[in-house]
Structure 1
Amino acid sequence: MFDVRWLLIALMFASAALHCEGNEKNPLLIPDSDDDVPGVGPIRRTEWFRGVWKNRRSSWLVEKNIADKGSIVFLGDSITQGWGEDFKGLFGNLKVVNRGISGDTSRGLLLRLQQDVIDLDPAAVVLMIGANDLAEKAKADVIFSNVKSIIKRLKSHSSKMPIVLCETFPCAPDDYRPVKEIKRVNQFYFEEWSEDSQVKIAKTYSLFAGGDGASLPKYMPDRVHPNLQGYEVWAREMKKVFEEIGISSKKLKIKKEVNKNPNTLPLSPSDSMKLIELPKGFSIELVASEPDIEEPVALTWDGNGVMYVVEMRGYMQSMDGAGAKDPVGRIGRLEDTDGDGKYEKYNVFVDGLVEPRAVLSVSGGLLVGEPSDLWFFRDIDNDGKADTKEKVYDKFSLRDSNVEHKANGLTLGIDNWIYVSQHGRRYQFINGEFRNEKVPRVGQWGLARNDEGRFLFSSNSNPGMGFFIAPDYLVNSKRIGGEVLLTGSVIKAGNYSEVWPSMKTVDLQSGLGAARTNDGTLRSFTSACGQCFFRGHRLGEDVTGDYFICEPVGRLVRRSKVKYLDSGHMELSNLYEENSDEFITSSDGNFRPVNTYTGPDGCLYIVDMYRGVIQEKSFMTPYLKQEIQRLNYDKNIGRGRIYRVRRNGVSLGEKPNLLNAKPEELVTFLSHSNGWWRDMAQNIIVSRKLVEVAPALEKMLLDDPMPLARLHALWTLRGLSKLDKDIVKSALQDDDDRIVCAALRVINWPKSEYSYLEKFIDGASPEVVAHIILALGKNFYKHNKDLIIKCISRFPMNERILHSVVAVTPKNFLSNNEFELINESFYKPEIEEQKLKKWVERWQNFVLSE
């Protein structure tokens, strides 16, 4: 039996070796010795060539390889590089990518083939090489040998991928690149591959050769490199070859067009909407705009579907930010009076606010964040205007701090608490008043909650970060610095942090280095904000549960698929990454999406500040200020739009009337297919303390076929303080882990119930076992240690288990002797020793160390 104790000792000595193993050879550097280079013949090593090689390849490996997957790859030397990144527009919208490096040889191509070509999983490869080999005095057989190796490796990667082998181009009529050797190379090609069904030889030599076999000056003025006319001739030949071998735009990725000269002037809503692009099957429509609303940043709806919009009207009205602290902010009230989905009635609900930034309809009123205060407004006489103003908390961020670093994103959790981004407290309405308690502070702008109650925060460059552990377990965490538990719970699949705008982006805080070199678009998230899990029912089942987040600098909205892993991670992937695209993009430079919401009608709502400047003065760089003024973006102020995204052919959901609903009707809405209705019904029941519906809620918890209805019933009973322990135990028998985990959360389990909880450990999922650990951890840890060790032994290499233990146990929770009790659970024949080392080291760091 492998003994973990020996492994713990070995870890100290292994760290240096492991460090060395991580220092692999740099693929961007040309090996100094030919012994490390495949193939035969010359490979260049001059300082100039090393620099070109490194610069070209680093840009591909860092920012392009993911986007270029599935494309037609052109591979070669300076003749190929001469196409440029856009191929001079000669291939239309076909996705062609350039992997030519000036000065390269056939041996150089072979060296970089895997990373520059094969890793892209190309739709086809176009190969042209030889001029530099000949300049280095290599003979035809050397070039042929390397090309043969290249094609062999390409075929090994895919037996169906077309390979277009261009004949080596003619050169000058001298002996520097002898005509006879060029002809020999091409003859070798013909003899080897003329009958090969996968390799198509393109007759490119004769396109550019004169009677003497040398290049024609009209196509190659320097006798080596084509001019524009020469590339046009080459492009025509390639298109003909593509057609012959069955490559068409229908089978290839279509390159997204980028507007290099986007609109910068303020447009009317109808004209701006013409520049907004959505996937096929979706449409966007205007809900509200100026002159009614100005500078919108957030919104909410009350139980009858009346919309309330935060208007931050003092934000950056000039380049120096003058007037930002003036009391000109307000909450606008919009109402759809006839049920047609259009909010035609507007009035000011409350005004005179300084930099308002958050709003939530809850408990019969509006919570409004106006740093440094959090207010609760009520409309007592139903005239559409606030009548009462109650201070809920007086440290809701500092008034004088930067506007980008203040609390925001008021969001109702399924546990009846209200959570906030960039703020270390949560709030709850109990017995007619608000209480609050400390939670870890995380996030920057925006907060999203999914159906079961998990949250995702964001920061400027990080579009998704969240809890492994439910916040209530972190309120009184036995660990100092519980914020560490928030990191790492989101996995970003593919190249998730890259964004794909449809317009060239020059107004970048950090300058053009943040943009792609080939088309000038923003490369990655720089202002991620305003996220939501879409929980509606009118965009299609394929959209429900997706994660949406705004990127106002890139003028886009990302749609992400969410995969929930047994490890407790949430894996995010850009649904449109394969085509280098986004869910919503615009080539209107004033389109500034800052928030997204699930609406009462089951559609997606987008808040567009529609303004030129989106950067607060404190972080305005000289470059950004210059570009803003050059493009007159600073002149666009005082506007704003709210959009609704719809699925074509799908009607809007019904208009809600929950504020006037009977208690028994509210219970039925807990099973609504739109998450907005479920949340609102639960909040009304709990806020009004409608305890008479408890029997109906118990029946729903036990009998309703919809898991989410059972989940809401459980938390509603918790909010009413009407949870019976036997009912909770029944919920532990549910076949949906979300209900089981909630049942473990909703009450404190005393030591007398430990034997009952222990029955669930052996057959439970990692998620349930983690929640058992968390439930046990609410009590004195010395009473629950044995049971927690048993839980660890079930899934010792599970991230959720590890973080749960860390959340509810003090440092030095396990002694070395106790750790030996789970020795056997670590050791399994199928587990790699390296993985075992990693996990033993992690447990040692988290729960064995001082």
Structure 2
Amino acid sequence: MNKKFLSFILLGSSLMAEPVVSLYEQVKALSPTESMKTIQVPEGYKLQVVASEPMITEPVDCVWDANGDMYVIEMKTYMQDADGKGQYNKTSRVMKLTDLDGDGTMDKSSVFIDGLVLPRMILPLDDRILVCETNTFDIYAYRDTNGDGSADEKTIWFKGGRRGGNLEHQASGLIWNIDNWIYTTKSDFSLKIVDGKVQKAFRGNLKGQWGLGHDDDGNLAIGAAGPEKSFEYFQAPVHYSNYRFPNELEKDFNKVWPIDNIPDTQGGQRRLREDNTLNHVTAACGQTVYRGELMPEFYGNYLLAEPVGRLIRMTKVDTSLGFKQMRNVFPNSEFIRSTDANFRPVNLKTGPDGALYIVDMYRGIIQEGNWTKKGSYLRNIIDQYGLAKNIQMGRIYRLIPEDYSAKFARPEILKKSSEEIIPLLAMKNGWMRSTARKILILRNDKSIVPLLKKALSKSTNTQETIEILWTLEGLQALDKDFILTQIKSSDERLAIHAIRSSESLIEEADKDILSELKNIIKNAQSKPVLTQVFLSLKDSNSHENLKEFIAKYEQDEILKHHLAQWRKDKDEKRKKQEQLDALAGKGPIFQKIMTAGDKHYKSLCFVCHGSNGEGTPMAGTDTMLAPPLKGSKRVLGNKDKLIKIALHGLMGPIDGKTYPGAMESLASHDDKYISEVLTYIRNSWGNSAKLISPQDVKHTRKHNKKRKMPWTLAELK
């Protein structure tokens, strides 16, 4: 038979049918111009490509130095295949980009730092750029001393030590807040530069993941993708407490409204609508607050990126209930969203020009290898669509008004005198104000103190007075009499910040400051000022003032929320101390191990296993993110099996139940870390079992060193 005729018989039916579009055709990469056509933005606005491949690849964050040059972190080894091979190779970079003509598009680039391991945090200081890589909290300062665009000087700025764990559960952020403290996520301490030296102090436990921003008052924009939290801890500055109020997110706030239909979510069918669109936040990241003057109608709104849903949510803060409630600015829709499968927004920033900048990693896979293992739901989708092919790209966009075409002049703040910088503290652009304050403090030029105080006394701009106040604080130039004057101000926000700036004096039980706070408790009508008085007093030794506050405002519709949170914090602290006291009978070594294990658990494991060891529910479902540890026979049973699970993870049905993903491997942590956290879970929430030693972990690690895959229960049996 004729071969051509045979082919016609075999293929005839398909020749007559409509052409079938392959799954990969639905996700193949588009050029920046083509991709931008798929991105919906609000009417009256437009996107502009700031930079794209080959100028940048695999971007995850961008920042600007005081002169206006952009620095882009590239995680060049992130998930280059579905197994995440070679992720820790030292080939990631920081790129320096310059816009020469002010049109918003980058014209010049150079490799500022090369040979990095997945850099994750970056903060420009003066002419130094701070960078922290993955698996460490050591922060280095880099400087270009000869002006060729590449760093040739590297010095240790902060020795934080090694840390391990899944790279999605490590610190991010490194932001300089209004109070002059530098905050990161996944950390129970913050850093501050005082007279040129780095100080470290506890400033709240920031449990968020990828992304960290702040508003004009220092409230943080933070969330956690693991437990599917869009925003949390935004009621008050986080160093007062990890505040959570009932109904602080409007009903169904965490529902998302994407327009793509690629079902590549770790949560599987539970997280999808019938049309395959994502139904709930699952990778919320890049949280920030827009603080630019270019789009004043959006000023102060919170934003988050949802790369699995290919969208960006804009949130307005409503205070009409007496506390802050987050509301979607675009109900049943989103601020920005795309049908391009590779649109992966991971960070959002306000730029020196007042535009909103979007860091689009632009790639196929957006979740780390622990959740893409063979046999998992997500891996099947990745393989079916060929998502692993789309790598080594990336775009940065800026959102601007549709009719905007002005050229932006570089700020060149480093070239200005300190006196010339002071007026920048009054600018409408939050980036400009924050950068000016930072540079003045880094210069540590005390000669400008009289000029700052004079500017504050003459100002009619509340935000300017607040910036000047904290500039003076950063220069160690706030005296008691000056603070008292500002606390008595009729400007509510200035008074609030003045009270915050007085907290070192409150700790010292300064009679004049405490007397003024007592006067506010008795006579003030402003609930925000009264709230700040309570926040500043609640952990102090001023028991008389606290007692008076509670007696007067116990039933107040607004202040009662803060009192309730305070009591909750005190109760949790009491329970923790009772637990430690009970353990004291087992000896100081055991107690030390439990204290360390508690810290490890709360920085990593609680996200899925819950703060009470009973598991974290997947929002809106009856499914838990991970099995309970409380009363678990695997936790309390054979030590070797438990260590195996910790080192390599666990997958598949557990006690007849399925969970969204495999447990992540802790193998990157050292033996001591693993022994401490396992001993902790074996002796918490009513559990009681013998400690696990570093030697136990070392033994099991050695005998299973060739193991690469998670265990199943069948194998462990």
Pairwise mapping of residues 699-714 of structure 1 onto structure 2 (< 5 A)?
Answer: 699-714=454-469
Which letter maps to 1:599? G
Q: 2:339 and 2:462 mapped to 1: Cα distance? A: 42
Verify the 8 A CA contact 1:771 1:804 in the aligned structure 2. Answer: no
Q: 2:233 aligns with which of 442, 463, 466?
A: 466
Verify the 8 A CA contact 2:92 2:118 in the aligned structure 1. Answer: yes
- 1:757 corresponds in structure 2 to 517
Verify the 8 A CA contact 1:773 1:805 in the aligned structure 2. Answer: no
Q: 2:558 and 2:352 mapped to 1: Cα distance? A: 42
Verify the 8 A CA contact 1:374 1:396 in the aligned structure 2. Answer: no
Q: 1:492 and 1:810 mapped to 2: Cα distance? A: 25
Verify the 8 A CA contact 1:446 1:529 in the aligned structure 2. Answer: yes
Structure 1 residue 601 and structure 2 residue 353: aligned? yes
SS in structure 1 at match of 2:216: coil
Q: 2:452 and 2:320 mapped to 1: Cα distance? A: 30
Which letter maps to 1:744? I
Structure 1 residue 424 and structure 2 residue 176: aligned? no
**Runs of 5+ in structure 1 lacking a partner?**
1-259, 474-481, 814-850
Q: 2:395 and 2:475 mapped to 1: Cα distance? A: 39
Verify the 8 A CA contact 1:766 1:801 in the aligned structure 2. Answer: no
1:770 Cα deviation from its structure 2 partner: 2.2
Verify the 8 A CA contact 1:550 1:557 in the aligned structure 2. Answer: yes
Distance 1:728 1:759, change over 3 A: same
Q: 1:356 and 1:555 mapped to 2: Cα distance? A: 23
- 1:640 corresponds in structure 2 to 394
Q: 1:639 and 1:444 mapped to 2: Cα distance? A: 23
- 1:66 corresponds in structure 2 to none
Verify the 8 A CA contact 1:422 1:445 in the aligned structure 2. Answer: no
- 1:265 corresponds in structure 2 to 28
Q: 2:528 and 2:214 mapped to 1: Cα distance? A: 18
Q: 1:397 and 1:321 mapped to 2: Cα distance? A: 21
Which letter maps to 1:659? L
1:751 Cα deviation from its structure 2 partner: 4.3
Q: 2:84 and 2:560 mapped to 1: Cα distance? A: 45
- 1:723 corresponds in structure 2 to 478
**Runs of 5+ in structure 2 lacking a partner?**
1-22, 575-717
Structure 1 residue 378 and structure 2 residue 139: aligned? no
- 1:683 corresponds in structure 2 to 438
Distance 1:292 1:590, change over 3 A: same
Distance 1:416 1:341, change over 3 A: same
Which letter maps to 1:452? D
SS in structure 2 at match of 1:332: strand
Q: 1:263 and 1:397 mapped to 2: Cα distance? A: 42
Task: Name whichever of 409-418 and 671-680 sits farther off.
Answer: 409-418
Which letter maps to 1:674? N
Q: 2:546 and 2:444 mapped to 1: Cα distance? A: 38
Which letter maps to 1:774? L
Q: 1:766 and 1:566 mapped to 2: Cα distance? A: 13
Which letter maps to 1:305? G
TM-score w.r.t. the length of structure 2 is: 0.71
Verify the 8 A CA contact 1:766 1:800 in the aligned structure 2. Answer: no
Pairwise mapping of residues 464-503 of structure 1 onto structure 2 (< 5 A)?
Answer: 464-473=231-240, 485-488=242-245, 491-503=248-260
- 1:664 corresponds in structure 2 to 419
- 1:802 corresponds in structure 2 to 563
- 1:285 corresponds in structure 2 to 48
Distance 1:614 1:506, change over 3 A: same
Distance 1:604 1:811, change over 3 A: closer
Q: 1:689 and 1:511 mapped to 2: Cα distance? A: 53
Alpha-carbon displacement from aligned partner over 1:78-101 (angstroms, at most 9, x marks no partner): xxxxxxxxxxxxxxxxxxxxxxxx
Q: 2:423 and 2:552 mapped to 1: Cα distance? A: 38
Distance 1:421 1:301, change over 3 A: same
Alpha-carbon displacement from aligned partner over 1:28-82 (angstroms, at most 9, x marks no partner): xxxxxxxxxxxxxxxxxxxxxxxxxxxxxxxxxxxxxxxxxxxxxxxxxxxxxxx
Which letter maps to 1:442? K
Q: 1:441 and 1:516 mapped to 2: Cα distance? A: 32
Pairwise mapping of residues 53-452 of structure 1 onto structure 2 (< 5 A)?
Answer: 263-371=26-134, 372=136, 373-395=138-160, 398=163, 400-439=164-203, 440-452=205-217
- 1:533 corresponds in structure 2 to 289
Alpha-carbon displacement from aligned partner over 1:458-487 (angstroms, at most 9, x marks no partner): 1111110015443444xxxxxxxx6xx333
1:678 Cα deviation from its structure 2 partner: 0.2
SS in structure 1 at match of 2:47: strand
Distance 1:472 1:693, change over 3 A: farther
Q: 1:279 and 1:785 mapped to 2: Cα distance? A: 48
Name the count of aligned residue pairs. Answer: 538
Distance 1:806 1:712, change over 3 A: farther
Alpha-carbon displacement from aligned partner over 1:192-247 (angstroms, at most 9, x marks no partner): xxxxxxxxxxxxxxxxxxxxxxxxxxxxxxxxxxxxxxxxxxxxxxxxxxxxxxxx
1:556 Cα deviation from its structure 2 partner: 0.6
Verify the 8 A CA contact 1:774 1:807 in the aligned structure 2. Answer: no
Q: 1:803 and 1:657 mapped to 2: Cα distance? A: 48
Verify the 8 A CA contact 2:553 2:560 in the aligned structure 1. Answer: no
- 2:534 corresponds in structure 1 to 773
1:777 Cα deviation from its structure 2 partner: 4.1
Q: 1:632 and 1:783 mapped to 2: Cα distance? A: 66
Q: 1:789 and 1:560 mapped to 2: Cα distance? A: 33
Q: 2:561 and 2:155 mapped to 1: Cα distance? A: 40
TM-score w.r.t. the length of structure 1 is: 0.60
Q: 1:767 and 1:532 mapped to 2: Cα distance? A: 23
Q: 1:810 and 1:686 mapped to 2: Cα distance? A: 39
SS in structure 1 at match of 2:193: strand
1:431 Cα deviation from its structure 2 partner: 2.6
Verify the 8 A CA contact 2:98 2:109 in the aligned structure 1. Answer: yes
- 2:372 corresponds in structure 1 to 620
Verify the 8 A CA contact 1:287 1:643 in the aligned structure 2. Answer: yes
Which letter maps to 2:123? L
Structure 1 residue 548 and structure 2 residue 303: aligned? yes
Distance 1:625 1:668, change over 3 A: same
Q: 1:395 and 1:288 mapped to 2: Cα distance? A: 33
1:564 Cα deviation from its structure 2 partner: 3.3
Alpha-carbon displacement from aligned partner over 1:364-420 (angstroms, at most 9, x marks no partner): 31121213122222223333222322223444672x411100100121100111111
SS in structure 2 at match of 1:466: coil
Verify the 8 A CA contact 1:778 1:808 in the aligned structure 2. Answer: no
Q: 1:455 aligns with which of 220, 227, 231?
A: 220
SS in structure 1 at match of 2:35: helix
Q: 2:545 and 2:572 mapped to 1: Cα distance? A: 15
Which letter maps to 1:615? Q
Verify the 8 A CA contact 2:24 2:387 in the aligned structure 1. Answer: no
Verify the 8 A CA contact 2:538 2:546 in the aligned structure 1. Answer: no
Q: 2:215 and 2:339 mapped to 1: Cα distance? A: 31
Which letter maps to 1:404? E
SS in structure 2 at match of 1:650: coil
- 1:61 corresponds in structure 2 to none
Distance 1:667 1:808, change over 3 A: farther
Alpha-carbon displacement from aligned partner over 1:312-355 (angstroms, at most 9, x marks no partner): 00100111111101001111100112323221110011111111
Verify the 8 A CA contact 1:465 1:489 in the aligned structure 2. Answer: no
**Identical-residue share of aligned pairs (%):** 36
Verify the 8 A CA contact 2:208 2:223 in the aligned structure 1. Answer: yes
